[in-house]
A and B are shown apart, each in its own frame.
Chain A
C-alpha cells in the first residue's frame, strides 16, 4: 500500500523539487476515483537528481513490473539516462516522471500547478486544466470517465 503522507514528507525533508500529478492530484482536486500509487513530476537538475537518488535508495526503490534478474540501482546516471520510472518501494508504489505527456518537463508542469497544504506540507499539485491535458494526451480508454468527471469538477468549482 502506498503511504502518501510518508513519501511526501520524505520528499519535502530532502528538499526535492516535485509536483504531485496523476490520480493523487485528481483526488486532491475532489475526484472520487481511487488510485493505488503516487505519481510526481520531478526536476531533472543535477542537484535534484542527486537528492532524489538518495531518497530512492532510502526506501529501497526497485523497478515495478520488471523481471527480478534485471539489475537496477536508482543512482544518478541511471536516473539521468531514463526519464519516467515506476517503482515499488518500502512505502508502496511510487512513480516519478521527468516529462508529463501533453504538458512538458518539470518547469512547465510547475507553471500550471498550485501550491497547496497537503498533510500539513507545502506541495505543488498539478491544476485541473493540467490534469485534463495530460489525461487527454494519454488517450487511454480508462481515462475517459476520469476526464468527464474532472470536467464536471472544474465546472462545479467555477460555480462555487
Chain B
C-alpha cells in the first residue's frame, strides 16, 4: 500500500495541488530568465495596485459630485 512516506516528492506536490508543469517549464529556463519572469510579475502587481488606486480615487470623486452625495444634502 502506498503510504505518505514512500510517495515521491513530486507525487506529494501534485496531491497538494502544485502544478508540476510550471516547475518543469521553469527548469528549462536560465536563472536570469526565471528572475526576469519574477520581475515581470512584480511589475504587473504594481500596475494593478496603481490601477486600483486610480479607480478608487475616481469612485470617490464621482460620489462627491453626485446629487445623492451626502455632501450636497
Check B18 against A149 for contact (C-beta < 8 Å): yes
B10 on interface, CB distance cutoff 8 Å: yes
Give the chain A neighbours of B46 by CB distance below 8 A.
1
B45 on interface, CB distance cutoff 8 Å: yes
Give the chain A neighbours of B65 by CB distance below 8 A.
none
A125 to B34, CA, bound (A): 13
Nearest to B41 among chain A residues (CB) is A34
Give the chain A neighbours of B60 by CB distance below 8 A.
none
A112 on interface, CB distance cutoff 8 Å: no
Q: Would you give the 0/1 interface string for A1-17, flagging 1 where the beta carbon is closer than 8 Å to chain B? A: 11111000000000000
- How many residues from B make CB contacts under 8 Å with A? 28
Check B27 against A28 for contact (C-beta < 8 Å): no
The 8 Å CB contact of A149, one of B23, B30, B45, is B23
A75 on interface, CB distance cutoff 8 Å: no
- How many residues from A make CB contacts under 8 Å with B? 31
Check B8 against A155 for contact (C-beta < 8 Å): yes
Check A145 against B18 for contact (C-beta < 8 Å): yes
Check A27 against B32 for contact (C-beta < 8 Å): no
Check B19 against A4 for contact (C-beta < 8 Å): no
The 8 Å CB contact of B31, one of A34, A117, A149, is A117
Give the chain B neighbours of A155 by CB distance below 8 A.
8-10
Q: A24-B35, A24-B38, A151-B13 are in contact. List 5 more A-B contacts (CB 8 A).
A: A32-B18, A32-B23, A152-B12, A152-B20, A153-B27
